[in-house]
Amino acid sequence: MLKKYTLIILFSVLFLLLTACGTSNRNTGSDKDGKNTLYQNIQKKGVITIGTEGTYAPFTYHDSTGKLTGFDIDIANEVFKRLNIKPKYIETKWDGMIAGLDAKRYDLVANEVAVRPDRLKKYDMSDPYIVSKAVLIVRKDNNTIKSLDDLKGKKVGQSLDSNYRKIAEDHGATNTVVDGFNQAVDLITSRRIDATINDSLSYLDLKKHRPDLPIKEVYEEKKATSNAFLFRKGNKDLVDAVNKALADMKKDGSYLKISKKWFGTDVSK
């Protein structure tokens, strides 16, 4: 009889312990392993770290006062304002930016990252927040390059992990690795390379601020590229929250206001 009561007491204690553990996990919003997700940790801290270039106008760059600004910065700021989270930007060169995400130096990348099938296999990406077209840029006095097919045997300047580098090399060009668009333009004007491929919006912004540059656009791709925020895999709740904020911004006109501020039009289409 004593053994019977002892077993009943033991089973009762075990049941209470299991119930308490389950309740604890539900109350803290933990995942199935009892650990907080990245988004939950970000919410607790109230800060999210964002990798960006800081040298790629008009998307992410420093203005005349030294303040980090740009279209991507304004979009990210508005997204996380709605999520009650403070963005902290960590600036790094483009060629090491995605490696920095892998190494967990920051929680996401906001830097005109093109949506590509190879990236979607390894990373999560938000819904696209801007579409743009690639343009081919040469010196103003260059009359031999008029299309991508004319790049065969020519020298271009592209960032190592840029989708523009692949386009150029697929058309027979030899690439000189550059830190960014500005360096590529400098190499063109000094005749050290023949061309570069870059974002049409970035080219128009550069010409607006530096109309004296002896460069010109000779070709624009017909197909637009979608760009989005880049995340490490396995952070669905964070991606979902960002996507909802982006959708709400488009519904209430906040997105269009930012878009018109930088480009005078809606760049989501």
% helix, strand, coil for the chain, step of 5: 45, 25, 30
- Digitized pLDDT (tens) for each residue of the chain, 269 residues in all: 444 444 444 444 444 444 444 433 333 334 555 589 999 999 999 999 999 999 999 999 999 999 999 999 999 999 999 999 999 999 999 989 999 999 999 999 999 999 999 999 999 999 999 999 999 999 999 999 999 999 999 999 999 888 899 999 999 999 999 988 999 999 999 999 999 999 999 998 899 889 999 999 999 998 899 999 999 999 999 999 999 999 999 999 999 999 999 998 999 98
What pTM was estimated for this model as a whole? 0.79
Structural tokens at position 85: 């989270």
Q: Is 92 exposed, middle or buried (0-12, 13-18, 19+ CB in 10 A)?
A: buried
- Structural domain spans, the chain: 38-129+227-263, 134-220
* Whole-angstrom distance, CA of residue 193 vs CA of residue 153: 11
At the top level of CATH, which class does the domain 134-220 belong to? alpha beta
Q: Is 82 exposed, middle or buried (0-12, 13-18, 19+ CB in 10 A)?
A: middle
Domain 38-129+227-263 sits in CATH 3.40.190.10: yes
Q: Rounded to the nearest 10 degrees, how much is the dihedral formed by the CA atoms of 70, 225, 159, 171?
A: -150
